[in-house]
Amino acid sequence: MIIPDHEIKRYLEEGRIKIEPLNEGQIKSACVDLSLGSEFRTFGHTKEPCIDSKKPKEYTETIIMDNNKFILHPGEFVLGITRERVSLPSDIVAYVDGKSSLGRIGITAHITSGWIDPGFEGKLVLEIANLGKMPVILYSGMKICKIMFFGMTSPSQTPYNKRKDSKYSGQMNIEQSRIHEDIQ
């Protein structure tokens, strides 16, 4: 079941769910709007013939927004990060999804991996792409996605922040993919 606004507010007051910074206007009827931070990771051109998911290598470079704006060109894919830090207890999971208003101008704010495990703590890294035909300016602080919360029937036995294989627990900046850690 999706957790509604009045329960989200109660969980925030109790400290069970933490979203910092947060203002009351971000809380909607069944989700919380999250805003775009100022850090991006962009994919540059390389002499490599492909990305080898088995080998850790730097394929991106960090960009910090100039004048709080970033121009996303058609066909471009970047990693962005939320301004807010999110913390979940061991009995609540969450899902991140893009904003319809951005989708209507060709911007997907989260393509895959929208699932947020119980026990996750940190800022959320977003996969952002421009599927439209015109460049779009993204601004630091703009609403970029929404997060929905779901109650579990019982707490997770091993929440994300307690797992030995949790790759992104506590992230405050955009980290490279660690898919190579999953390949045997």
Residues contacting residue 110 through CB under 8 Å, at least 6 positions apart? 96, 97, 98, 126, 127, 128, 145
Name which of 71, 79, 145 is nearest 109 in CA terms: 145
Distance, in Å, from the CA atom of 165 to the CA atom of 152, rounded to the nearest integer, reads 22
| Count of beta carbons in the 10 Å neighbourhood of residue 155 | 12
Q: Does 76 qualify as catalytic in the annotation?
A: no
Give the Å distances, CA to CA, from 25 to 74, 86, 143: 31, 17, 11
- Of 24, 127, 175, 181, the catalytic one is 127
Q: Which residues are catalytic?
A: 127
